[in-house]
Amino acid sequence: MLERSDVPPSLIAAAAANFAVVRAHSVALAAPLSDEDCAAQSMPDASPAKWHLAHTTWFFETFILERFEPGFAPFHQAFRVLFNSYYNGVGEKHPRAERGFLTRPSRQMVADYRADVDARMARLLAADLAPAVASELASLVELGLHHEQQHQELLLTDVLHLLSRSPLYPAYDEGFAAPVASPAPGWRGFEAGVVEIGHKGGGFCFDNELPRHRQFVEAYELATGLVTNADYAAFIAAGGYEEPSYWLSEGWAWVQARKIRHPLYWVEGAGGWQEFSPAGLRALGPARPVLHVSYFEACAYAQFAGARLPTEAEWEHAATIAPLPQMFGVAWQWTSSSYAPYPGFAAAPGALGEYNGKFMVNQYVLRGSSLATPAGHVRATYRNFFPTDTRWQFTGIRLAR
C-alpha cells in the first residue's frame, strides 16, 4: 500500500463521509465552467476538466470496485483505456496529449459515471465487511481521496492555463482571493546539525515521504517570506532575462529558445504590468508573491539576489521546528533538491506502485502548498515534484543562504 496510516475497521464510516465531501468538492470546482471549458486541453501537460472528473472516478472503479465489489461490471468498458493516466500495470492508455480530442463522452456522461461509481462505493462502504477487508478498503479510499485532491489542484491550474490562452482573459471565479502580501524582507537562521526528515507516522502520507531518515545540514538561513512581484520586476528591469551569468546552461537555452522575458501570466500594458489569475486580469500587486515561475527562473533570480534555493531538508527542517510566514497555502516553493528516493525507499508492488517511484528522474522537489491546494492536503513532509520548465502551477521562490 502507498499510504502508511493505520486505519482500523471502525473508521470505515469516516472514510465514507470523507469520500462524499471530497467527491462533491471536485464537482463544485467544475461548476463555474461551461461544457466547452471542460472539454478543451491547452497543452500536453494539462488535461481537460472533464478528464480530471473522469480519471478520479476511474481510480475508484479500477482499484477498489473491480477488486471488492461483488459481481463487478465496469460502467463503460472503454473508460478503462480512456481515463487511465500512466498505470502501465492496468493496461492501454489514451495518449496524454490527445485528451482534448475526447468530445465524447459528454460532460453529462462523465457526471453519470461519477454518480454511478459514487453510489456503488457508498454501497460497498456500507456493507458488512470483515475487519481486515474493512481496514484495507478504508486505506485504499484514503489514498484515492488524496489522489483526487491532487487532481482538484490540477483542475484549477489547468483551467487557468486554458483561460489564459484567450485574448478575453475570462475569469474562472471573480471572487477568487489573491495571495496576501509577503512580509517585510528578513532572514531566519538555523544551526548546523543532524536533522530528521520524512513522515513520522500518524496520518496519511505518500510513499515518497518515507522512510524517515537522518540528514546533516550546515548552518543556513531562510528568507522569512516569498520573493515578491516587486522583487522580480526589479530583476526584469535589471536585464535579468538578458544576462547569461544568472542562468543555468539549460535555463539560458530555454529562455532564448522560447523568448521568455517574464513570469507566465504577466501581461505588460500601457499602465504597467498586470497578472492573469483565477479572478481574471488584475493589476500586479507589488507586495504579493511572484507566482508561476520555473525552476530555471527561480535559480536565476536567486543568483541575481546573491542567494540560492533551499534544499528540501532545510525547508522541511525549518517548517517543522519554526515555520516561517507563507510556508503553506500560497505557492509551491522550488528547492535545489532533485526528486530522488529517500534511503531505503521501496515502491509498492503492482500498478499502485507506479504512483511515485517511476517519476524519480529529471525533476525537482517543491515544498509547501499553494492557494489552489485543497484543505487537508497540506503537510511539512509533502514532496511535490515537477520538471525544471514548469510554470503553470502556482510556483514561487523562497531564498536561502
**214, exposed or middle or buried, with CB in 10 Å at 0-12, 13-18, 19+?**
exposed
Cell of 353: 506502485
Burial status of residue 48 (CB atoms within 10 A of its CB: 0-12, 13-18, 19 or more): buried
For the chain, give the number of residues: 401
Residue 401 lies in a domain: no
In a domain, 176, yes or no: no
Residue type, 60: F
The answer to whether residues 132 and 195 belong to one domain is no
pLDDT in tens, the chain (401 residues): 334 344 454 679 999 999 999 999 999 999 999 999 999 999 999 999 999 999 999 999 999 999 999 999 999 999 999 999 999 999 999 999 999 999 999 999 999 999 999 999 999 999 999 989 999 999 999 999 999 999 999 999 999 999 999 999 999 999 999 999 999 999 999 999 999 999 998 899 999 999 999 999 999 999 999 999 999 999 999 999 999 999 999 999 999 999 999 999 999 988 899 999 999 999 999 999 999 999 999 999 999 999 999 999 999 999 999 999 999 999 999 999 999 999 999 988 889 999 999 999 999 999 999 999 999 999 999 999 999 999 999 999 999 99
27 and 81 housed in the same domain: yes
223 and 160, same domain (yes or no): no
Boundary (domain end) residue, out of 129, 164, 199 = 164
102 and 43 share one domain: yes
Q: Which of 251, 246, 277 is nearest to 264 (CA)?
A: 277
Helix (H, G, I), strand (E, B) or coil at 282: strand
Quick check: is 173 in a domain? no
Domain count of the chain? 2
Closest CA to 269 of 131, 154, 169, 379: 169
Q: Domain boundary residue among 117, 133, 164?
A: 164
Residues 160 and 202 occupy one common structural domain: no
CB 295 within 8 A of CB 190: no
Q: Decide if 181 is inside a domain.
A: no
- C-alpha dihedral over 392, 393, 399, 401, to 10 degrees? -100
CATH number of the CATH domain containing 223:
3.90.1580.10
Dihedrals phi, psi of 282, to nearest 5 degrees: -140, 160
Residue 182 belongs to some domain of the structure: no
Taking each helix axis from N to C end, the angle separating 229-237 and 295-304, rounded to the nearest 10 degrees, works out to 80
Which triple of cell numbers denotes residue 288? 504579493
Cα–Cα dist 314/24, whole Å: 37
Confidence (pTM):
0.95
Rg, Å, the chain Cα set: 22
* Domain of 155, in residue numbers: 9-164
Q: H or E segment at 220?
A: strand 220-223
In a domain? residue 93: yes
